[in-house]
Amino acid sequence: MGALPTAKSFSDGDLKSEISDKQSRRSTISATAGFFVDMFDVFLPVVVLAPAQAYFQPANMTETEAAVAGSLILAATLLGRPLGSIIFGALSDRFGRKPITLVSVAGFGICTILMGLLPGYQHWGVWALYTLIALRFIGGIFLGGEYTAANVLAMESAPKEKRGLYSGLIQAGYPLAYIAIAALTFLMLKVFPIDGGLSSPYVNYGWRIPFFLGGILAFAVIIPYRTLVDESVMWTRTKSKRKANTLKILFNKDNRRHFIQVVVVLTGFWCTLFASAAGLLPRVLMRFVHLGAQDMTVVIMIASVALTVGFILVPSLSQITGRRNMIVLMGLLAGTVGTYCYYLLVTDPGSFIRITVLSTIVVVLTSSVAGITTCYLNERFPTEIRSTGFGVAYAAPVIVPALYGVYQGLLEKIVAPQFTPLILVVVGGLLTIVGALMGPETRDVDLKSTST
């Protein structure tokens, strides 16, 4: 594990007979399904509530204030995830990957259903928005536990030569969820049109259906997971080495440097990801490119289909090129080609086809690198603190990008509003490159290694 001191290690051959191909596939499929539901619930407000923001906001709110409020709804979830990673990561390292996955998925499923039941500003005033943000934060805590446990279990069950592919399949749950959200929103807008402001069918109740479905999907994942997925063999074998305070171990002298390095990389990932389909792009398409809500969802769906391929292809290629080289390459492409295409999108969008092509290039080049996340982070931490390390390193870097809406107003005093996402892409690309170069190559790391 790089420079980690090794007390005892289990080779691939030692445990291969204990982890069947069927179990490896089941763990990966279950982690993909769990991450799909995770991402479905995380990004519901980005697309689903974009056409219905007025339901939770006062009529006299300015466009900038509305943008900040919208970003805070997403940020609340993303800020809850680091706390959830700390809580559930420690529990996963101590009590097992499987039970923590079940608890966390059930938790965010309930929160999502409660969001779908909320009254609007006309009934609760500003407390409607506050309650939505609070539920998003609590749901984010539970969401921080899902990938912390399920994704680690999948990587600990994966053959070394397939970790890149399996990582991409798991992370592809994000664009697949985005496709599902965009398609569902498009359908809801057809069935419940926006034709009368606050009195329109979509604003009143059409947006609720995707939230109810998100909660139902969470429980649909739990049922087969309980019976089909076994506990991680690696976690079971390290029982004698489990420590009560895994967070303290994560920040000791031996592991602290590794944690800082991956936080730099993941901050870059999140900056570029948040600048595209994950956060700003839907609003950019509606506010600056002047697309209608339905056309926006079509563009996002097409871009997300391409991103699904990118999420699988990039980590799979990293099995050949190495993780570090691929991360550096994608950071370079995001900060150059991705930035230029974003610039063209907001200055010279042209026809709908041109808008779709530019948006797809932006999304693929700025986001595909995140497909490496699951394998890369698991390769950076030893088994006895892997869930804690993976969870905290995955979630903590999102804090700065998630608060982008708060300081976007300040940036608008320096550059035009339509150019502020470009800053996020450039900064993200630089952090991705610098962070990757700070760390070692991890493709051939043996996950069976444990350290004291």
Q: What is the DSSP string of 269-322?
A: HHHHHHHTTTTTHHHHHHHTS---HHHHHHHHHHHHHHHHHHHHHHHHHHHHH-
Q: Is the pLDDT at 19 greater than 70, yes or no?
A: no
Q: Considering the domain 20-231+239-442 in this protein, what is its CATH number?
A: 1.20.1250.20
Q: Where are the domains of the chain?
A: 20-231+239-442
Q: Is the pLDDT at 91 greater than 80, yes or no?
A: yes
Cα 60 versus chain centre, distance: 33
pLDDT tens-place string over residues 347-380: 999 999 999 999 999 999 999 999 999 999 999 9
Low-confidence winner among 60-64, 113-117, 129-133, 141-145 (lowest mean pLDDT): 60-64
pLDDT tens-place string over residues 149-187: 888 888 988 888 999 999 999 999 888 888 888 888 888
Task: Give this prediction's pTM.
Answer: 0.78
Distance set, CA 77 to CA 271, 286, 322 (Å): 16, 23, 32
Q: Is the pLDDT at 450 greater than 50, yes or no?
A: no
Return the number of other C-beta atoms located less than 10 Å from residue 191's C-beta: 11
Distance CA 132, CA 73 (A): 7
pLDDT tens-place string over residues 67-83: 677 777 777 887 888 88
Calculate mean pLDDT across residues 56-66.
73
Distance CA 11, CA 44 (A): 42
The pLDDT assigned to 182 comes to 80
Q: Is the pLDDT at 18 greater than 70, yes or no?
A: no
Distance set, CA 305 to CA 169, 195, 245, 298, 373 (Å): 13, 30, 41, 11, 19
* SS3 of residue 357 by DSSP: helix
The pLDDT assigned to 196 comes to 64
pLDDT tens-place string over residues 264-295: 999 999 888 877 765 678 878 888 888 887 88
* Structure-block tokens of residue 51: 């056409």
Q: Is the pLDDT at 11 greater than 70, yes or no?
A: no
